[in-house]
Structure 1
Amino acid sequence: MNPIDQLRAARPAHLDTPLDPATRTAELTHAMAGPRQRRRRSVRLPVWGLGLGGAAAAATAVAVLVAGSPAPRAPSVALPSPTFPAFSARTVLLAAAERAERAPAASGDWWHTVGVRRTLFQAVDGDYTVMDRQRIESWTPSATGKDQWSRTQTLGAEPVDRAAWERAGSPREIVVKVDRKKPLPLSVEPGKVDVGHAPLVDGDKVFWLGRNVTMDDLRGLPSSPDGLKAWLLRSYKGHDTESDRPMGSDKWLFAVTVGLVMDMPVTPRVRGAAFRMLADLDTIKVTPDVADAEGRRGTAVALDGERLIIDEAAGVPLAQESPRSSYVVLESTWTDTPPSR
């Protein structure tokens, strides 16, 4: 079992019951054809990470029976299964773009996000994997002169293989291996809430988008796919986003754009342009009907082990996953309510 499957194995099994691909396609077609409701921009989705850390470095249709109508009978003879068009990354991303662009624009004093990061580690004593969970809440000011605030809490480590954990003595504190660092002790109990704040980097930088950017930079992003791609690639230097390791432009663009659509308070048109830009990348692969770490179902678009799970019928991202971690955003919205301290 690979690490990302181990991450999913920590959820109840019923959350991973797959839908029939034909049903999934039919639902998407029905949802896209239905009426579009305008609603307040308050989505429940995932984030790449805290905005300050980065600066320093759906409405899916559900088939229901009409009340009082008789249940359909199974045919007495076998009938051929209907055929539906195959999913493609382009189809999924263009559907998400169309929905994203129809969301109402919003603004506020603070960009507020709530998310949960899950990370897999290997226990030092005993051959088993541990999933560490951390809740992260952040407030990023829309204007300069204010600090960025965060509230973080460790939710407790969970052994993916409880039998192996029990054979190791069911330790309440599990020491895990960390690459090139000292072993790290993880408690199975939730930790206290840690409240912190810090000035914006350089006084005005709020996120990392190939380079440190301001709120004004985000407000001025191009709203066309070609324009947005050209804007982002001006920061591409041939290596990955966090080191000097060589990285191709498609993978780099995918990584940066995932952060944009999940993490940042861009306009609906810019978010739609980002989805359309990704749709033009030939290297992206698609997997329909997957569940994120919270059990929400969507479609995954992936490139070289990194993947974005989206609800294409609602036009919102659901999760970001890498081989050993997952991040889901539970809330992402503008608010005038100041940070709770």
Structure 2
Amino acid sequence: MSDKKLMELLADARPRRLDPDPRRRPDPAVLMAHPRPVRGRRPARRFAVAGLATAAAVAAALTAVVLSDVDTDRRVAPVVEADAAAPSAPVPPKTARELLLVAAERTTTSTVDGDGRYWVLRRELGSRMEVGPAARRYHIMLRISEEMWLARRPGDPSVAVQRFLGAEPLDEAAWRADGSPTRWVVPGLDGGGKPAAVYTTAPGPRTVRPMRGHTADNNFLLAGGPVTAKQLAALPTEPASLEAWLVRRLRQAGSPEGRAYALFWSGEALVTDLPVPAAVRAAAYRMMAGLDGVRLLGEVTDARGRAGMAVAYTREGDGGRSETRLVIDPATGRASAEEERNAAGELTRYTIVDSAGHSDEAPPQA
């Protein structure tokens, strides 16, 4: 694809509702929407960047948090001559390949490159859970905010800052039929009568804990195994070479997933929250653009209601059909969210990346 064609795509890709209102100052939260590592056979394992290796581990982290809570510039419109041709409306990308190539081009000029003692990742995680009476089961969405201070140098401690944001009923009618509870007790699996967790609609306290066992040598996960910050910084910047590197790592890890899907979620990790140079992120986007099975969903909103465009990959697994979505802001090339949906199209888990970058500051203290 020529540079001229890519630049045309860049201009056309931005969703119209993301454009600033010429009558008022643009909202930075809209214009600068900011943009997880991978392990195992199911996509939920990509919570593993900081030890949250599976969806169950996400729930466990939520449980730990919840149980602790139990005890004026104006722009002038341009003058248009009467015989001047009106500009055509922006044309969004027509394929997943076009969107991913646009994102690759943009990410080379919108970077979080740098150096520092810590890679600081701020995100929101959501995981769906079934609750309610046996005859009228329904689902709630458990939400947690997470701030990970991942050490990049030997001797520095890695730290996790978490807060339970509250549970939200997903089926309002079933929730009301259950008496509109604001608290759910999820029994333990041992049958001993003690609750494994208590979830409420109210947020919990902010907690700070050291991430024991996490060091500069194993803070990051990619393609089913641990990688260091130096390894990530040295990844290939050419799509075919990057793909070959990932395939070797996936084989070493014994990944049971199909090649295209495993490469898709490995690419997701590289473009969302891993500390890699912009050229590596661009290579990951271009690699994904060449994968079979990736399709364009068009304009979407993420779990927080932020606008973007999405690509998706659908897989058949032990738990049935699921769809993994990657939400991208084509104006910046940043991947801002990742989601999983079931065969019915229901949201089962999500990750929203608020920010990711280097810092020399000291992490919060417990």
Q: What TM-score does the superposition give when structure 2 sets the normalisation length? A: 0.69
Deviation at 1:240, TM superposition (A): 7.8
Q: Is the 8 A contact 1:55 1:207 kept in 2?
A: no
233, 258, 265: which is aligned to 1:219? 233
CA RMSD of aligned residues (A): 3.5
Distance 1:277 1:156, change over 3 A: same
- Structure 1 spans left out of the alignment, 5+ residues: 1-23, 32-41, 58-64, 71-80
Q: How far apart are the structure 2 equivalents of 1:84 and 1:69?
A: 22
The 5-angstrom pairing of residues 209-288 of structure 1 reads 209-210=222-223, 211-237=225-251, 246-288=256-298
- Give the equivalent residue in structure 2 for 1:322: 340
Matched pairs, number:
288
Q: Is the 8 A contact 1:108 1:334 kept in 2?
A: yes
- Give the equivalent residue in structure 2 for 1:192: 205
- Give the equivalent residue in structure 2 for 1:51: 49
Deviation at 1:247, TM superposition (A): 1.6
Q: How far apart are the structure 1 equivalents of 2:302 and 2:141?
A: 15
Distance 1:82 1:315, change over 3 A: closer
Q: How far apart are the structure 1 equivalents of 2:267 and 2:358?
A: 20
Determine what percentage of the aligned residue pairs are the same residue. 31
Whether 1:117 and 2:107 are equivalent positions in the alignment is no
By relative contact order (CA 8 Å, sep 6+), the higher-ranking structure is 1
329, 339, 354: which is aligned to 1:311? 329
Q: Is the 8 A contact 2:12 2:92 kept in 1?
A: no
Q: How far apart are the structure 1 equivalents of 2:162 and 2:220?
A: 18
Q: Is the 8 A contact 2:13 2:91 kept in 1?
A: no
Q: Is the 8 A contact 1:290 1:297 kept in 2?
A: yes
Q: How far apart are the structure 1 equivalents of 2:329 and 2:100?
A: 10
Q: Is the 8 A contact 1:206 1:214 kept in 2?
A: yes
102, 107, 121: which is aligned to 2:109? 102
The 5-angstrom pairing of residues 45-194 of structure 1 reads 45=35, 48-49=46-47, 51-53=49-51, 67=76, 84=91, 87-104=94-111, 105-125=113-133, 126-175=136-185, 184-194=197-207
- Structure 2 spans left out of the alignment, 5+ residues: 1-9, 19-31, 38-45, 58-73, 80-87, 315-322, 342-347
> Could you say what secondary structure the match of 1:237 adopts?
helix
Distance 1:179 1:240, change over 3 A: farther
Deviation at 1:128, TM superposition (A): 2.4
Q: Is the 8 A contact 2:12 2:90 kept in 1?
A: no
Q: Is the 8 A contact 1:52 1:200 kept in 2?
A: no
Q: Is the 8 A contact 1:51 1:140 kept in 2?
A: no
Deviation at 1:187, TM superposition (A): 1.4
Q: What TM-score does the superposition give when structure 1 sets the normalisation length? A: 0.74
Whether 1:28 and 2:14 are equivalent positions in the alignment is yes
Q: Which amino acid aligns with 2:179?
A: G
Q: How far apart are the structure 2 equivalents of 1:227 and 1:161?
A: 46
Deviation at 1:184, TM superposition (A): 4.6
Deviation at 1:151, TM superposition (A): 0.7
